[in-house]
């Protein structure tokens, strides 16, 4: 049993990490920095060199900028920022941009007026823009947050310099004061009225999924799964509905739509995986709201716990790892006790080793489809008393050590994979500028 102070501490953590936020901030940070450099130059840049952190690259490379079809990825964030950006609007820097403005951006790209490089920095959020035009040079650095200017320079005149506050090294010590027993105890002991915000968030994500069902977003995977052909092939029972709703919400999220999504640890896809499968399962099987709320708490806290262990520099696909949260929440909602919850987590992570992240993009919906399916299978196995044994791979008797093992792999062992993926992405973007 947890003390009142422990419950309060965990609840504060849950509230701080599980909340609604507008997505697509990374491409907007790029556009904002370029727009500011353009303002300093006094004209549209003739050349832009963009040096970006891995996080910025990965979360911008496959996203529709400002939700516009045909404006995908970093080149358009740079070009639209240069041609039309309004830096005073901060993350709404491109909100006034319309599809009829795309030809100018395409011309900017086709003329090879930008160069993309990976920045050598320990900062997660880092955008460095060097722009030339009209006989002048400008340099802009955004870091720490997507709207925080740390360096401004035009020609030889430095207007702002806070570079002393940039990270000098990366702290590889990743620990968490959480553990699975604390998460389970909190979820079953916390006053139920304190968890209502989680259900509100899950319903918000469901509304986003309905946008995809009624429109055209991303790959359209969620909408496709509700089609007549798919219904004949797969059916429209609980499992397909859980998957279609989660994929649909991801379709909208990855299309670049500037809408609020209920996130986990700053990730919309993690929030979607941590909430929507549970909500749809509860609606389909008439799970009491109180049990759903506690399942949501278990799911979202498990994702937060894993994120603590991984850190923000992980090479693992975070939306797939988030399915460990869904698995334990579903196991609880199916009537499982702590042992079943632990088994669900172990079953889930046993299938996830080595799933790399290659950026935020529409095809993330495909990964979410597999993630939700894996979460449900893991929970069903746990309820049947099936648990991957400690003789298998990275799984140990302790669920916490098992989670630490997969975190070590994603955080440290897979960094070379991550470097190769980033090299492929940046070189691909450069080739597009040559075409």
CA 429 to chain centre: 21
Angle at 125 between CA 103 and CA 93, to 5 degrees: 35
Whole-number percent of the chain with pLDDT over 70: 94
pLDDT in tens, 251-284: 998 887 778 899 998 888 999 999 999 999 999 9
User: What is the pLDDT confidence band of residue 431, given thresholds at 50, 70 and 90?
Assistant: low
pLDDT in tens, 36-52: 999 999 999 999 999 99
- Tracing tokens 């670049």 back to the chain, one arrives at 256
Q: Which letter does DSSP use for residue 126 in this model?
A: E
- Range scoring the smallest mean pLDDT among 152-161, 303-312, 414-423: 414-423
User: 377: which 2 tokens?
Assistant: 């299978």
What is the per-residue pLDDT for 230? 67
Q: How many helices (H) and strands (E) does the chain have?
A: 18, 8
Rounded to an integer, the average pLDDT of 173-200 is 92
76: how many CB neighbours lie within 10 A of its CB? Answer: 28
Domains of the chain, residue spans: 25-170, 172-420
Does residue 43 or residue 429 have the better pLDDT?
A: 43
- Range scoring the smallest mean pLDDT among 16-20, 135-139, 332-336: 16-20
Q: Three-class SS of residue 386?
A: coil
What is the per-residue pLDDT for 317? 83
CATH number of 25-170: 3.30.1330
Query: What CA–CA distance (Å, rounded) separates 337 from 425?
Result: 44
45 and 38 Cβ atoms separated by less than 8 Å: yes
pLDDT at 164 over 60: yes
pLDDT at 435 over 70: no
Rounded to an integer, the average pLDDT of 232-258 is 85
Query: What CA–CA distance (Å, rounded) separates 224 from 219?
Result: 9
The stretches of 214-288 forming alpha helices (DSSP H) are: 221-224, 228-234, 238-254, 268-285
pLDDT in tens, 331-361: 999 999 999 999 999 999 998 766 788 888 8
- Range scoring the smallest mean pLDDT among 132-141, 284-293, 364-373: 364-373
Whole-number percent of the chain with pLDDT over 90: 64
pLDDT, mean over the chain: 90
What is the per-residue pLDDT for 358? 83
What is the per-residue pLDDT for 169? 67
What is the per-residue pLDDT for 313? 59
What is the length of the chain? 435
| Closest to 318 in 3D by CA, of 276, 261, 359 | 359
User: 252: which 2 tokens?
Assistant: 């909208």
- Range scoring the smallest mean pLDDT among 61-65, 133-137, 370-374: 61-65
pLDDT at 311 over 80: no
pLDDT at 287 over 60: yes
First to last CA, the chain: 63
| Closest to 40 in 3D by CA, of 102, 82, 80 | 82
CA 397 to chain centre: 30
Q: Torsion angle of alpha carbons 257, 258, 260, 261, nearest 10°?
A: 40
User: What is the pLDDT confidence band of residue 410, given thresholds at 50, 70 and 90?
Assistant: confident
CA 121 to chain centre: 21
What is the per-residue pLDDT for 312? 61
Does residue 379 or residue 228 have the better pLDDT?
A: 379
| Residue 55 Ramachandran class (φ > 0 left, ψ -120 to 50 alpha, else beta) | alpha
pLDDT at 65 over 90: no
335: how many CB neighbours lie within 10 A of its CB? Answer: 10
Strand partners, 262: 20
Query: What CA–CA distance (Å, rounded) separates 327 from 306?
Result: 13
What element of type H or E holds 153?
strand 149-154
Four-way CATH pick for 172-420: 2.60.40, 1.20.120, 1.10.4100, 1.20.140: 1.10.4100
pLDDT at 179 over 60: yes
For 157, counting Cβ atoms within 10 Å of its Cβ (0-12 exposed, 13-18 middle, 19+ buried), the class is: exposed
Query: What CA–CA distance (Å, rounded) separates 298 from 434?
Result: 49
User: What is the pLDDT confidence band of residue 178, given thresholds at 50, 70 and 90?
Assistant: very high
Query: What CA–CA distance (Å, rounded) separates 34 from 130?
Result: 8
User: 197: which 2 tokens?
Assistant: 């915000």
329 and 208 Cβ atoms separated by less than 8 Å: no
pLDDT at 172 over 60: no
| Closest to 81 in 3D by CA, of 132, 137, 30, 150 | 30
| Residue 262 Ramachandran class (φ > 0 left, ψ -120 to 50 alpha, else beta) | beta
pLDDT in tens, 83-125: 999 999 998 899 898 889 999 999 999 999 999 998 988 888 9
Rounded to an integer, the average pLDDT of 377-389 is 96
User: 348: which 2 tokens?
Assistant: 């889930």
């Amino acid at each position: 049993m947890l003390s009142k102070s422990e419950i309060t501490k965990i609840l504060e953590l849950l509230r701080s990490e599980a909340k609604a936020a507008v997505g697509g901030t990374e491409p907007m940070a790029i556009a904002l920095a370029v727009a500011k450099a353009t303002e300093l130059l006094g004209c549209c840049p003739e050349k832009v060199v963009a040096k970006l952190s891995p996080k910025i690259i990965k979360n911008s490379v496959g996203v529709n900028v400002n939700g516009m079809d045909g404006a995908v990825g970093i080149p358009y964030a740079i070009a639209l920022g240069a041609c039309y950006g309004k830096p005073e609007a901060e993350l709404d820097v491109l909100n006034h941009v319309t599809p009829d403005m795309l030809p100018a951006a395409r011309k900017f790209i086709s003329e090879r007026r930008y160069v993309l490089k990976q920045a050598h920095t320990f900062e997660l959020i880092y955008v460095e823009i060097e722009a030339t035009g009209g006989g002048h040079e400008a340099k802009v650095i955004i870091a720490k947050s997507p709207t925080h200017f740390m360096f401004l320079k035009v020609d030889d005149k430095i207007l702002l310099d806070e570079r002393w506050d940039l990270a000098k090294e990366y702290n590889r010590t990743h620990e968490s004061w959480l553990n699975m027993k604390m998460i389970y105890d909190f979820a079953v002991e916390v006053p139920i009225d304190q968890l209502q915000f989680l259900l509100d968030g899950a319903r918000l994500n469901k509304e986003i999924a309905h946008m995809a069902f009624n429109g055209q977003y991303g790959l359209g995977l969620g909408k496709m799964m509700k089609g007549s052909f798919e219904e004949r092939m797969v059916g429209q029972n609980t499992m397909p509905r859980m998957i279609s709703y989660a994929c649909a919400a991801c379709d909208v999220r990855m299309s670049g739509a500037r809408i609020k999504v209920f996130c986990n640890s700053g990730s919309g896809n993690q929030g979607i995986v941590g909430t929507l499968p549970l909500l749809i399962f509860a609606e389909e099987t008439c799970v009491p709201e109180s049990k759903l709320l506690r399942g949501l708490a278990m799911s979202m806290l498990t994702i937060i716990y894993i994120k603590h262990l991984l850190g923000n520099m992980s090479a693992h696909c975070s939306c797939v790892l988030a399915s460990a949260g869904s698995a334990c929440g579903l196991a609880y909602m199916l009537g499982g006790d702590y042992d079943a919850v632990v088994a669900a987590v172990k079953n889930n992570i046993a299938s996830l080793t080595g799933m790399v992240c290659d950026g935020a993009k529409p095809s993330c919906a495909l990964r979410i489809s597999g993630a939700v399916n894996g979460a449900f299978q893991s929970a069903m196995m746990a309820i049947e008393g099936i648990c991957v044994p400690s003789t298998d791979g990275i799984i140990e008797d302790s669920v916490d050590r098992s989670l630490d093992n997969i975190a070590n792999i994603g955080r440290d062992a897979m960094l070379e994979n991550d470097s190769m993926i980033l090299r492929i992405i940046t070189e691909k973007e450069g080739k597009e500028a040559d075409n």
